[in-house]
Amino acid sequence: MSRAGFRALGAARRLPQDCLKATLSAVTDQPDRSDPGTAPGTGPGTSGARRFAPAAQRNRQPILEVLARVLPQRGQVLEFASGSGEHAVYFARNLPSLRWQPSDPDPNCRRSIDAHANSHANSHGDSGQCPNLLPALDLDVTAADWPVPVADAIVCINMVHISPWAASEGLFAGAGRIFPSAGVLYLYGPYKRNGRHTAPSNEAFDASLRQRNSAWGVRNLEDLTALATQAGLALREVVEMPANNLSLVFAKA
């Protein structure tokens, strides 16, 4: 899919939540929903440029506990679909030895990411500075070349089920390109195992996704593992998470 095509799809799929991270985890993570009649940047779930997703507040600590264990001790982490930016600020603050590069194709999300970073620094004074958190990038996961030529890890939370399959293909192919001799790809969200949903709530969520967009849907873990193999990665670990989600840890084979 071309960059223009990906942007067009993104524009078509954006709901009142605007940011990819805040979109559509309705059954699994119950994120915030803004009023459909509310202008971007105002109303519930927003504060100026900042967006807020209650799911991010709930799942950030369980995710951090996995990241602290599986990510490299040092190096650069590239985050895709950073959405509101709440995760990026929290992870960068708690993993100070890693350089955290957030990204999102939505300009409203990029503004929210940077606004959260600035607000955190302003409210905490010198202690709130996150020198390891970089400004948000405009990054299309399906592009043949990314503006980040090398990364030691990639983090992608709640993206693959609310994006076309081409986004997952691009994610794994890109990881294979930019990882050095070692590298970790971390995914979080709902996934099927052996073609079956892990909970009735995930099955209902999958149906609602496909009703909204036939290109979306909860993905099968085995299909993602096949993409990983093609990219020179291997599935290292599956971690059960709250709300019927999974953490998937892939590493360069």
Q: Report in angstroms the alpha-carbon separations of 240 from 16, 118, 135, 147, 189.
A: 30, 33, 31, 33, 10
- The pLDDT value given to residue 253: 86
pTM of the model as a whole: 0.84
What's the domain range around 24?
Answer: 3-252
Q: How far is CA 223 from CA 81, 190, 191, 245, in A?
A: 21, 14, 10, 17
| In contact, 175 and 253? CB cutoff 8 Å | no
pLDDT for residue 28: 40
Instruction: Look at residue 38 in the predicted model and tell me its pLDDT.
Output: 26
What pLDDT, on the 0 to 100 scale, is given for residue 85? 96
Strand partners, 225: none
Q: Which of 203, 188, 180 is nearest to 251 (CA)?
A: 180
E strand or H helix that includes residue 113? helix 107-124
Tokens of 127: 């202690």
When divided into structural domains, the chain yields a total of: 1
| Tens-binned pLDDT, residue by residue, of the chain (253 aa) | 444 334 434 433 343 333 444 444 333 443 332 222 223 333 335 457 899 988 999 999 999 999 999 999 999 999 999 999 999 999 999 999 999 999 999 999 999 999 999 876 555 555 456 899 999 999 999 999 999 999 999 999 999 999 999 999 999 999 999 999 999 999 999 999 999 999 999 999 999 999 999 999 999 999 999 999 999 999 999 999 999 999 999 999 8
Given a contact cutoff of 8 angstroms between Cβ atoms, the answer to whether 238 and 170 are in contact is no
Beta bridge partners of 185: 154, 250
Q: Tell me which amino acid residue 49 is.
A: A
For position 231, which CATH number holds?
A: 3.40.50.150
* φ/ψ of residue 237, rounded to 5: -160, 145
The confidence score (pLDDT) of residue 130 equals 85
